[in-house]
Amino acid sequence: MPNQYRQEQKQLSQESLQLALFALMRQQTFQSITISALAAKAGISRMAFYRNYPSKEAVLKDYFDAYIQPFYQFLAQLPDKQAAFISQAYFQYVDEHSDLFEVLLKSGAEPILNQRFTYFVTQFYRDFVKSRPFTGAYAHYYTQFVAAGLYQITLDWIKAGKQTPRQLLAQIAAQLAG
């Protein structure tokens, strides 16, 4: 029972830090946010911060992953992973959660966004896309190509105020990635 309580406290502290970081990023750049300010906003001590995370980058990674993981799991459970359907679902998800991307971009946290984005696209292709021979150097460079293209299309779309219909973007992504 004491272990369960400690685990719940740790999870609560981590969630508080994630929400506090995102709130601070709405107001200032990621680089200007200090651990002290982040801990204060989350209502915990600096020592408690370091019991939960080694850095604010790790907090942001967990926050982004918590947003993306449900979508990744949804895609993983699909019996038929056709590029057209996945691309449509992806752009719908981004549209519905574009606030996350907008705050990350505005606050200057794009390198972390790019790293996590590439990680999830690479994982997805490695685990689920069987229409191409995904081994060795081919797998590495193909998924890097797809991740970079999809990432750039996503950022351009968000920066332009999502003016282009997401169906068109999904069609382009499906043709390039499928």
Output the DSSP codes for 96-152. Answer: HTHHHHHHHHHTT-HHHHHHHHHHHHHHHHHHH--SS---HHHHHHHHHHHHHHHHH
Percent of the chain topping pLDDT 70: 95
The answer, yes or no, to whether residue 160 has pLDDT greater than 80, is yes
What does pTM read for this prediction? 0.84
Q: Give the chain's domain count.
A: 2
- CATH code of the domain covering residue 19: 1.10.10.60
Q: Answer with the one of 39, 54, 69 that is the final residue of a domain.
A: 54
Domain that holds residue 9: 2-54
For the stretch 107-157, pLDDT in tens is 999 999 899 988 888 888 777 766 566 678 887 888 888 889 999 999 999
* Closest-CA residue to 17 (of 33, 39, 32): 39
Buried b (16+ CB within 10 A) or exposed e, 54-85: eebeebbbbbbeebbeebbeebeeeeebebee
